[in-house]
């Protein structure tokens, strides 16, 4: 169906008539008269019969241009048929660690050793694609935290922006408290009944201005739930000059803090030691935070103001060209 988004703009239609009716006419400028001894020496051609129709045509073109301009300002729209969209009423904020320690290659993907961020991306993108109906946002953090993607239903964009993130983009340290604070701030302004933060990190809080437990208490006060995921293997082989040794690459992981962050908000802490474990964690998150199947309806809107506006501008250009031609 067709409708005008701002129909009150049609009140401007009588403005030209009101201006002509109430405003004084512009003062005409006359050139000096040419004095001649006998007017019969000049042959005059009456232009009254041609000027009047021309004047009326210009007037109608100007009125048509004004009408189209007012219609364009009323923002005409075409509303399509109602479409059903499944919405869960759940907001998820993914909080991803990009600190220097995420470069450790202690995960295996397709028989190849990959770093922790690559492994996280491969599983998290599948999780994002499954969350149809959720609004998902993305916070990236290192030494600083910043909002990479605001809450949106566009899961493809969230997945693409996560895939384009690189280690060190936000600094080399780990500001877990600041990241939780930023995610809480963004979720607090929403009216969704379910608000969830999924924090993924492999270290401890070494930067930032907000202590993580304090940030978690603020999140709990706002009704947010935090799920924390500790990433990193328990051991890996490292080649050295005199052979290969086994080391624990996750010595910096502060599991006690991650457990406390989850417990304060009613969430859970997960430990991802390999790629399969990471997949199982996201499957468990799907179970803990199920996608609801409530259907909402909306009408696709196509704006049409460009057509009357373009026609009005074309008519205005035609009138200006006609005026210049007559002037010369």
pLDDT digits (tens, 9 = 90+) for 182-230: 999 999 888 778 899 999 998 899 988 999 999 999 999 999 999 999 9
Residue 33 in any domain: the answer is no
- Rounded to whole angstroms, how far apart are CA atoms 276 and 272? 8
**Gap between the Cα atoms of 79 and 62, Å rounded:** 30
Residue 69 in any domain: the answer is: yes
Residue 39 pLDDT = 54
Same domain flag for 108 and 74: no
Q: Band of the pLDDT at 41, cuts 50, 70, 90?
A: low
List CB contacts of 240: < 8 A, sequence separation 6 or more: none
| Same domain, residue pair 98 and 72 | no
Could you tell me which of 193, 158, 199 has the C-alpha nearest to residue 178? 199
Provide the 8-state DSSP code for 289: S
Task: Tell me: do 291 and 312 sit in the same domain.
Answer: no
92 & 12 share domain: no
How many structural domains is the chain composed of? 2
- 35 within a domain of the structure (yes/no): no
**Does 41 reside within a domain?**
no
Q: Is residue 38 part of a domain?
A: no
317 and 283 share a domain? no
pLDDT at 25: 73
What is the pLDDT at residue 49? 47
**pLDDT: is 118 or 43 the higher one?**
118
Q: What is the pLDDT of residue 35?
A: 60
Is position 66 within any domain?
yes
Which CATH number fits the domain that encloses residue 167? 3.40.50.410
Q: Is residue 39 part of a domain?
A: no
Question: Do both 66 and 137 map to the same domain?
Answer: no
Q: The tokens 């995960």 sit on which residue? A: 107
Q: What's the whole-number mean pLDDT along residues 114-126? A: 91
- 13-22, 65-74, 147-156, 253-262: which has the minimum mean pLDDT? 13-22
Residue-wise pLDDT for 232-241, tens only, equals 888 776 676 6
Q: What is the model's pLDDT at position 301?
A: 81
Q: Indicate the DSSP class of residue 266.
A: T
Q: Which domain does 225 fall in, by range?
A: 85-296
* C-beta of residue 151 within 8 angstroms of C-beta of residue 170: no
State the Cα angle at 269 between 268 and 275, rounded to 5°: 120
């Amino acid at each position: 169906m067709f409708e005008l988004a701002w129909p009150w703009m049609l009140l401007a239609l009588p403005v030209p008539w009101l201006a002509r009716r109430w405003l004084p006419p512009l003062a005409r400028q006359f050139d000096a008269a040419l004095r001649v001894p006998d007017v019969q020496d000049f042959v005059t051609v009456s232009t009254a019969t041609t000027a009047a129709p021309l004047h009326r045509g210009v007037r109608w073109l100007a009125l048509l241009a004004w009408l189209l301009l007012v219609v364009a300002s009323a923002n005409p729209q075409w509303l399509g048929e109602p479409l059903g969209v499944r919405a869960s009423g759940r907001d998820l904020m993914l909080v991803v660690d990009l600190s220097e320690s995420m470069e450790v290659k202690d995960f295996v993907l397709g028989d190849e050793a990959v770093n922790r961020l690559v492994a996280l991306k491969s599983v998290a993108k599948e999780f994002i694609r499954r969350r149809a109906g959720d609004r998902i946002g993305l916070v990236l953090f290192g030494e600083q935290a910043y909002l990479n993607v605001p809450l949106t239903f566009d899961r493809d964009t969230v997945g693409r922006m996560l895939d384009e993130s690189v280690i060190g983009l936000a600094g080399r340290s780990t500001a877990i408290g600041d990241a939780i604070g930023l995610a809480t701030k963004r979720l607090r302004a929403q009216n969704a009944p379910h608000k969830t933060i999924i924090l993924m990190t492999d270290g401890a809080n070494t930067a930032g201005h907000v202590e993580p437990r304090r940030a978690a208490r603020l999140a709990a006060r706002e009704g947010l739930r935090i799920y924390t995921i500790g990433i990193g293997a328990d051991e890996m082989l490292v080649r050295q000059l005199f052979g290969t040794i086994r080391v624990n690459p996750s010595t910096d992981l502060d599991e006690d803090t991650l457990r406390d962050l989850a417990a304060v908000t009613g969430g859970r802490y997960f430990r991802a030691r390999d790629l399969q474990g990471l997949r199982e964690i996201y499957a468990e998150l799907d179970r803990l935070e199920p996608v609801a199947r409530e259907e909402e309806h909306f009408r696709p809107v196509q704006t049409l103001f460009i057509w009357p506006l373009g026609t009005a501008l074309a008519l205005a250009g035609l009138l200006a060209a006609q005026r210049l031609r007559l002037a010369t």
